[in-house]
Structure formats: C-alpha cells, structure tokens
Chains A and B, each alone.
Chain A
Amino acid sequence: MCSVLLAVTLTAAAGGLATGCGPKSSDDQWAAVMVDTCRSIVARARLRNPTPEELNARRFLDERRRLLASGRTFNTVSAFRNVCGAVRDEITGKSTPKTTLGGISDDPAVARTLP
C-alpha cells in the first residue's frame, strides 16, 4: 500500500513538472475568464450589465502587460482587481471600496500596497 501511495505521489509530481502536452492556454483564454469573473462580480453587486467598451478582454491584457513591464513585484490578482475595480467605478461613478471584490479573500493580498 505504501508503495502504491508513493508511486501515485511521485507520478503526480513528475507529471506536474512535465509540461509538454495539452492545449496551450493563451492570454486570450485567461482574459476571457477574467471578463466573465468580473461580470459575475458586477452582477452580484446588483449593478447594471457593463457595456463591451467598459468590460473587455483587452483591458485585462493591457493591464497585465503593464504590470509585467513595470519590473516591480505585483500581486497575482492586481490586473483583475485594477480593471474590475475600475469597471465598477465607471458603472457606479464612485470610488471602489477597500473591501474585497465579491468574495475574494484578502488572504494573500491586503498586507502590501502593490501596483
């Protein structure tokens, strides 16, 4: 039994390191998920549906490129927070509250001020 569990663990670890197969998950795929996630958060806040000009994949892609090019450490969710927060601002005309965006824990995020 120990051998089986060990084999499963090692296989999983080796598989995790072998990244040469499967479909390529592109920037566009990531940006599309960000758009959908932001749309669900806006809906949860019972705000009106954002227009394509307000909420689109390009905004997330541009923000991510800006963060990567900044040469500074950034939070994993910075691109998402910045763009989705801005979308909410545009819809409501108010500044985004400092609380979390619709059910994301502040666990890895709040203790630092990051771009």
Chain B
Amino acid sequence: MSDVMDDPSVLEPVGGATTPLGSGPTSEPPTLPPRAGRRLARPMWWIAAGAGVAALATRLPLLTHPRVLVFDEVFYATQGWEISRTGVEQGLTVHPPLAKWLLALGIKVFGFTPLGWRIVPLLAGVLVVVATVIAAARLFDQRGATVLAGAVVLTDGIAFTTGRLALLDGIVAAFTTSALAVVATTLSRPLDVPLRRRCEVAAALLLGAAVACKWSAMPLVPVAALVIGVLAWRAFPDRRMRRLELLRSLATVLILPVSVYGLAYVPTIINFDESAIGRDWCSPSVDCTAGLPTRLRETVANQRSMWRFHESLVPMNRYAKNASSWVFQTEPVGLLSSPCPSADPTCSSDDSPSVRRIIGMSNPAVWALATIALGFLLLSSLSRQSLRRALIWMWAAALWLPWIVRPRLGWLPFESARPGYTFYAAPLVPALALALAVAWGDIRGRKRYIIGAAFAALLVVGFAVLYPVWTGLPTSSSYLNGLVSPGR
C-alpha cells in the first residue's frame, strides 16, 4: 500500500530515470506514457457514480423544507432573484457575483421557490463528492482509499448542509474540489505534457471561478501554481526549455483566474445602472449616463470597498468564532431553529416540545482525526519527498489557516484572524477526506481492515445521529443537548 501512496510518479517517473522531487534534470528526455493510462479505471468511475447517486439520495429528501429562507439565504437567494430579473445585484455586495449567478439560474428555472434557490447548491454538493472521489482515485489509484475519501465527504455535516442551502460556500467548494481533481490528474501523469497543459488551463479556470464566487478561494491559486510549476520544471531536461515551460505554466495558472474573475463582472458592467455601484455613483449627479470608463472605474473601486468591508468587519453574530474551533466542531452554526407548529402532526414529540433545527456541524471525531492526519501528511510528505501528499496538506492549509491567523507587522508576525462560521469550511472538507484516506492507506497488515471497519462505523453512526439536525427533521428540544449546542 505504501508503494501506492509514495508518489511513484514523482520518485519513479514512468519511462524515465528515478528523480526525486525537485532534483536535477533527467539525463534523457522524458518518455510520454501510453495514452490508455490517462483514463480512470472503470471501478473508479463506478465508485464516483455511486458516491454521486448516494449524495443525491441523501440530500434530495426535504430539500424544499423549510420553505422559508434559512440563515444567509436571505442575502444570497435574494441577490440571485435580483440577478434573475435585472442581471445584477441591486443591493450592496460584499462578495463577487458568480455564485449568485448560478443561484439565479436555479431561480430562473424553478422560480423564487425553495427548489429554485437550493437546486444549484444541491448539484454543487454532489459535484464535490464526485470530484473528491476522482481526486482520490488519481492520487492513490487504490479502491479502498478512494471509497473512504468519498465516504467522508458524503457523510460530512458541513458538506451536507452547504450542499442543501443557498449559501456561497457549497458552490465555492464545487469549483475548488474540481480544481483539486484536475491538479491530481496532472500529478498522476507528471510526464504527460499535453495532459498537464490542458489541466493547467482547467485548474486555472476553475480556481478563477471559485474566486469569482468568494475571495476565500484565492490562497489556492499559489498552491496550484507551485505544484504545476514543479511539474513543469521537471518536464524537460534542457534548462532553457524548462524555464520557458515554467513561465508558460505560471502565466496560465496566474493570469487565467484573473480573466475569469473579470468576466464574472461583465454583467455588472452591462447592467451598471441597475446595480448598487451604479446607484451609488449616480446619486449626487444630475446626468446619470455612465460611459464604459466610468463603469469600469467604479467596478474596480467597488473591489476596494469590498476589501475595506472585510478588513474592518467584526462579526457580532454569536456563531462567528475563530476557525481553530473547527477541529472539534465546538462552535457549530445554528442555521435554523424553529418551533414546530402545533397544527403539524409530523412534528409532535412525546418528551418535550419539538423543534426543527439545521446545524452546520460535522462529526467531531472525524474532524479531530482528520486534523491529526493532516499533521501526519505534512511530515510524511517531507520525509518521502511526495508532491501528492504535499498537495493535500497545502490545499487544506490554504483554506484553513487564513481563518485562524492573519499576518501583521509587529514583534509577532501574525494575529488571530477575524471570526468565521463553520460552513466556511465547505471547500476544506475534501482535503480532510483525502488526508484521512492517505493516513489509513499507510496502515499495514490486518490492522488496516480493523481500523477501516471501525472508522466506517464511526461515519455511519455519526451520520445517523446528526442527520435530523442537518435536514431540519423534528426532534425534541433536548435532542443531542451538550453535543449539539451551537453558539454556547
């Protein structure tokens, strides 16, 4: 098993000399591997399809309940509705528009109904599960680890709740996880230059789309650039060719996301007069006809406003906590808590008054183990010089650390980051799942199966216990008290 996990592609390139990560050039031009190896093995596709169907089957029931806007749906579903009518958000915006455009697509098709504003997050959540399985298959080429990675995301509460509500984070996760699968694909065939070039473009577009949904995906761009840059550097023996290839790759990975981000604002520029930016610009003047330069200038100025907003924001909501609390899920977000109407016969309970709650929390035991697995991955990636392992922990670090600490000038070069909500972790879940899969894959002998079975039981029990508070099923108000007590 450890052979599979030890990055055979980096330590032992197919058809080339053995070259540890980051070492000097190979003596011969790399030989391209056979084309057939580009395809995933059929069992992996079956695993991916099965995981997607399971995600749909578990998340679709009760999707339209509650029939009211839940937590920040009141912002994003409303903005999606505005976009579906006018092509632009009419109120103040503090996030880029792409995710809201996708919400608008669902609203356009199904109307301003719960199905309309939740259908795109549902599909995004299914994509997260499928893309995680594909990433695992590409990185490990091992069925057990692939199934385990998919099962973790499938049964995770953050992935589950963000995959059913009109929040931005589930959509961001769909783009970032797809990008992760793409980077994993190029890592699985590091000497296949045409494949890598296509994957560079795909990863850059997907990351650009993620950032065009929410800025929190931005730290992933340098991570992808680093991994792809290392592969580009190692692709050719000739020094000049290497430099050119590295430059070309970095230009692709760094410039394309900016282009996608800019494209996401084209509708805002076209429908400038209807937007908050346009109204803000127009109000003091008499002639409100904005030319293209004005529209561009004001849209850029809006980016600065958004930055200042996030810089100065001090969330007053009791659920906003530092992301270090995510490890044990001690501060989950209460997304909904609604007493059951007395007229609702499905809502009765014998022991105490019933409530419907939706809580953005995961199985704490799984997250604690995943955090340990990330630490293990960090060490093993260094000792084994494994770029595959490094990709997973760097991906997780890029999505988690900015919510824990932020840099500053002073004797201590960092300070506590501004508080966030547990559902901000949606794009992080696939990286945790991959870390757990690698750690499990490194266990040898019979212990591996025993631990695997115990972990599977942990996932199933956690899913069954927490399912009612992920979906808003009626429970007694004392259900899981102590464990599930958001914002305490």
Contact = CB atoms under 8 A, between A and B. Distances in A.
Genuine A/B complex: yes
Interface of A: 1-3, 5-6, 8-10, 12-13, 15-17, 19, 21-26, 29-30, 33, 36-37, 39-40, 43-44, 46, 68, 71-78, 80, 99-100, 103-112, 114
Given A19-B108, A103-B335, A5 B116 contact: no
Could you say which of B107, B108, B339 has the most chain A C-beta atoms within 10 Å of its C-beta? Answer: B108
Contacts of A15: 105
B279 interface: yes
Contacts of A103: 70-71, 334-337
B256 to A, nearest CB: 12
A66 B304 CA distance: 28
A88 B397 CA distance: 43
A27 to B, nearest CB: 9
B339 A75 contact: no
Contact of B74 (A9, A13, A80, A110): A80
Given A16-B105, A33-B112, A108-B75, A99 B283 contact: no
Interface residues of B, number: 80
A47 B267 CA distance: 42
A9 B256 CA distance: 14
Nearest to B208: A9
Contacts, number: 180
Interface string B275-315: 01001101100000000000000000000000001001111
A37 B92 contact: no
Nearest to B91: A76
Given A33-B69, A103-B70, A103-B335, 12 more contacts: A3-B202, A6-B201, A9-B175, A9-B202, A12-B105, A23-B111, A25-B84, A25-B108, A25-B112, A76-B91, A76-B93, A105-B315
B225 to A, nearest CB: 17
Contact of A44 (B38, B93, B337): B337
Interface of B: 38-40, 66-72, 74-75, 78-79, 81-82, 84-85, 87, 89-95, 98, 101-102, 104-105, 107-113, 116, 127, 131, 134, 138, 175, 178, 181-182, 185-186, 195, 198-199, 201-202, 205-206, 209, 267, 276, 279-280, 282-283, 309, 312-317, 319-320, 334-339, 341, 421
Contact of A5 (B93, B101, B107, B181): B181
Contacts of B309: 108, 111-112
B104 A73 contact: no
B75 A71 contact: no
A37 B101 CA distance: 22
Given A2-B198, A33-B69, A71-B283, A13 B40 contact: no
Given A1-B134, A2-B202, A76 B105 contact: no
A28 to B, nearest CB: 10
A40 to B, nearest CB: 5
Contacts of B317: 100, 105-107
A21 B319 CA distance: 39
Given A1-B134, A44-B339, A112-B92, A29 B267 contact: no
Contacts of B111: 22-25, 29
B320 A73 contact: no
A74 to B, nearest CB: 6
A24 B111 CA distance: 6
A113 to B, nearest CB: 12
